[in-house]
Amino acid sequence: MTQRTELLEQLRTIVGAANVLTGGDLSPYEQDWRKREHGKSLAVVRPASTLEVAAVVKACATAGLSIVPQGGNTGMVVGSTPDASGTQIVLSLQRMNQVRTLDGANLTVTVDAGCVLQAIQETCERAGYLFPLSMASEGSCTIGGNLGTNAGGTQVVRYGNTRELCLGLEVVTPQGEIWNGLSGLRKDNTGYDLRHLLIGSEGTLGVITGAIMKLYPLPAAQLTAFAAVPSLEAAVQLLGLAHQHLSAGLTGFEVMGKFALSLVSKHFPQLRVPFQDGEEPAAAPGRPKQGTAPSGGSEAHEVGSVGAPYCVVLENSDQESEAHARSCFERLLEVAMEQGCVLDAVVAESISQARALWHIRESIPLAQAQEGLNIKHDISIAVSRIPEFVRLTDAQLQAAYPGARLVNYGHLGDGNLHYNVQAPAGADAEAFLRDDEKGVNTIVYDMVDRFNGSISAEHGVGSLKREKLAQHKSPVALDMMRAIKAALDPQNTMNPGRVLATT
């Protein structure tokens, strides 16, 4: 028997033959969500417990074979799929999907790493608690993947990234040892914080098998508004007013450019997008008084004729009552209209209307994927400087790549834009990526540097941004990162070539 056949036999003994997949269509495990790369694994292994994960990792480490931890495989940076060598083991956590315990008094929930995010949200809600992490992939992504990438999502403005929601981890080390850090303490200053080292490490330092996460009381009311704004500057001004008027009640603030919304209308015509090309709101939600266009506003800023240049989804969560939430929200929108930073707005009258408005925002990534292969940027810049960043970068890109379509949307409340670039209409998207991705990235990331921003706000680095990280991160920081990787994974078997180049 060759060493690889021997290892596969060993893995079958650990997890059962049915959970070592070597044949058939393995694309769901080998192809990344954006279809940027299709790898080939030696096997997909699906353990059901932490002990099984530890045994699998130990066996692979002994055989010198590398492991790619995988959750829902919804990552955006090619970090959870194998390379093309046919020698890597995909370690899928999907069978480890139990909510272990919920401690109401401690406001914590302890979960298996393979729990699907939406399942955690729903279990907690049934028990009367809010688990606030939320993103459009929540029906498929897992908490292990969320922790592995330190995912952001749409509630960060109030609750922080996944990191801020995590109180402890259970981890299998690259050598196959188990570290149980599930104490659930809110205070623990006993040395280096290993939890924070593992969070955001994208499977390169160990396999997360369990986590203890923070809970919050369910809000008494949650209201959603969809507002048309005359410019990005106005969106930033609205954000300031929202912080002032709603304080901790502000739980979502997302911006969407006109072209991003037009892709939603094109690919999901059943979703009626308010304030674009004469469309009225999806289900006629409540409408605060009509706003007036700002003085000096050009025709392009008028709502309903050619569409607002930007729209914003805002969410207000209130611990008092729906009436209180509504009056705060309506006052905010009135002031914003008086100041000219909102042209028009609707407030959802029901949960289903709120969902419909959020659905428009959440459909942008899928609409963009359906439009074709594209160049994604997940950048963060100080909120106050975003309008200037977009103005300068738009101009440079349009000059260098005439006709390139800019798909701009994202978590403005966190200073995080998905500043994406789609090939010119009718052009061959594959050829555009092959010939122009490098140049487009150089323009965008050089500008990010000029603005002291980050080239990855929430999606991580994976293999797609590895070279860019090496160019844009400080050499001192890179040296410290390499030292940590070498100390914890000297054999380099844990998701090698992700985040850092293999040397």
Q: Which does 418 bind (CB under 5 to 8 A by kind): ligand FAD, ligand MLT, none?
A: ligand MLT
Is residue 363 within the footprint of ligand FAD (CB under 6 A)? no
Q: How far is the CB of 329 from ligand MLT (least distance, A)?
A: 23
Q: How far is the CB of 395 from ligand FAD (least distance, A)?
A: 28
Residue ranges in 163-182 that form contacts with ligand FAD under rule CB under 6 A: none
Tokens 């392009």 -> residue = 300
Q: How far is the CB of 207 from ligand FAD (least distance, A)?
A: 5
Q: How far is the CB of 407 from ligand MLT (least distance, A)?
A: 9
Nearer to ligand MLT (CB atom), residue 39 or residue 252 = 252
Is residue 73 within the footprint of ligand FAD (CB under 6 A)? yes
Please enumerate in sequence order all residues whose Cβ is within 8 A of that of 500, keeping only pairs 6 or more positions apart, or say none.
Answer: 204, 466, 469, 478, 481, 482, 485
What distance in Å separates the CA atoms of residue 386 and residue 161, rounded to the nearest whole number?
Answer: 20
What distance in Å separates the CA atoms of residue 391 and residue 413, rounded to the nearest whole number?
Answer: 19
Closest residue to ligand FAD, judged by C-beta, is 145
Task: List the beta bridge partners of residue 67.
Answer: 89, 494
105 residue type, one letter: A
What distance in Å separates the CA atoms of residue 455 and residue 110, rounded to the nearest whole number?
Answer: 32
What distance in Å separates the CA atoms of residue 254 and residue 235, rounded to the nearest whole number?
Answer: 9
Interface with ligand FAD (CB under 6 A), residue from 82, 152, 307, 413: 152
Tokens 């914080």 -> residue = 193
The answer to whether the CB of 353 falls within 8 A of the CB of 283 is yes
Nearer to ligand FAD (CB atom), residue 197 or residue 293 = 197
Binders of ligand MLT: how many residues, by CB under 6 A?
A: 5
Q: Which does 93 bind (CB under 5 to 8 A by kind): ligand FAD, ligand MLT, none?
A: ligand FAD
Interface with ligand FAD (CB under 6 A), residue from 80, 88, 262, 408: 80
Is residue 358 within the footprint of ligand FAD (CB under 6 A)? no
Is residue 157 within the footprint of ligand MLT (CB under 6 A)? no
What distance in Å separates the CA atoms of residue 307 and residue 257, rounded to the nearest whole number?
Answer: 10
Residue 93 region, left (φ>0) first, then alpha (ψ -120 to 50), else beta?
alpha
Is residue 365 within the footprint of ligand MLT (CB under 6 A)? yes
- Count Cβ atoms within 10 A of the Cβ of residue 328 and give its class: 0-12 exposed, 13-18 middle, 19 or more buried: buried
Interface with ligand FAD (CB under 6 A), residue from 69, 184, 219, 249: 69
Residue ranges in 413-432 that form contacts with ligand MLT under rule CB under 6 A: 418
Nearer to ligand MLT (CB atom), residue 34 or residue 245 = 34
Q: Which does 72 bind (CB under 5 to 8 A by kind): ligand MLT, ligand FAD, none?
A: ligand FAD
Distances (CA, A) of 284 to 92, 226, 352, 391: 44, 12, 12, 33
The answer to whether the CB of 201 falls within 8 A of the CB of 499 is yes
Nearer to ligand MLT (CB atom), residue 254 or residue 489 = 254
Is residue 408 within the footprint of ligand FAD (CB under 6 A)? no
The answer to whether the CB of 179 falls within 8 A of the CB of 471 is no
Closest residue to ligand MLT, judged by C-beta, is 365
16 residue type, one letter: G
Interface with ligand MLT (CB under 6 A), residue from 65, 136, 165, 182: 136
The one segment of 129-137, 180-188, 284-292, 322-330 that binds ligand FAD by CB under 6 A: 129-137
Distances (CA, A) of 136 to 117, 140, 232, 384: 10, 9, 23, 26
Distances (CA, A) of 72 to 41, 136, 373, 435: 17, 13, 21, 31
Binding stretches for ligand FAD (CB under 6 A):
33, 68-76, 79-80, 93, 113, 135-137, 141-142, 144-146, 148-149, 151-153, 202-203, 207-208, 365-366, 458-459, 462, 495, 498
Binding stretches for ligand MLT (CB under 6 A):
136, 364-365, 410, 418
